[in-house]
Amino acid sequence: QSVLTQPPSASGTPGQRVTISCSGSSSNIGSNAVNWYQQLPGTAPKLLIYTNNQRPSGVPDRFSGSKSGTSASLAISGLQSEDEADYYCAAWDDSLNGYVFGTGTKVTVL
């Protein structure tokens, strides 16, 4: 059972904006940076957002991240069919002395 909680699913039509939340605690999100990963069906995860709101080279600016207190969010604006994937937040947890992933959110493009 993960210490970072995400909604199991989210959906939108092409062009819409979708937001995914990630709820943690003071020992993880509250005191450490948040990363987001995208996992397309049948493939390895890919780093999507690092240190709360930074995009690696090659990641479209449709993806944005934010953090406030013990929660973080990933927003996908201008949703596209190729965005259909599982998304995971992650952060270091000081109490567990380990890196923890969120429960994951499946994004469906209607």
Q: Which is nearer to another protein, 33 or 75 (CB)?
A: 33
In whole angstroms, give the CA distance from residue 25 to residue 41.
29
CB 37 within 8 A of CB 46: yes
Residue from 3, 72, 100, 109 binding another protein (CB under 8 A): 100
Residue from 17, 40, 99, 108 binding another protein (CB under 8 A): 99
Q: Which is nearer to another protein, 30 or 45 (CB)?
A: 45
Does residue 56 belong to the site contacting another protein (CB under 8 A)?
yes
Contacts (CB under 8 A) with another protein, residues 60-89: 86, 88
Give least dist CB 73 to another protein, A.
16
80's CB contacts (< 8 A; 6+ apart) are 14, 62, 109
In whole angstroms, give the CA distance from residue 10 to residue 106.
6
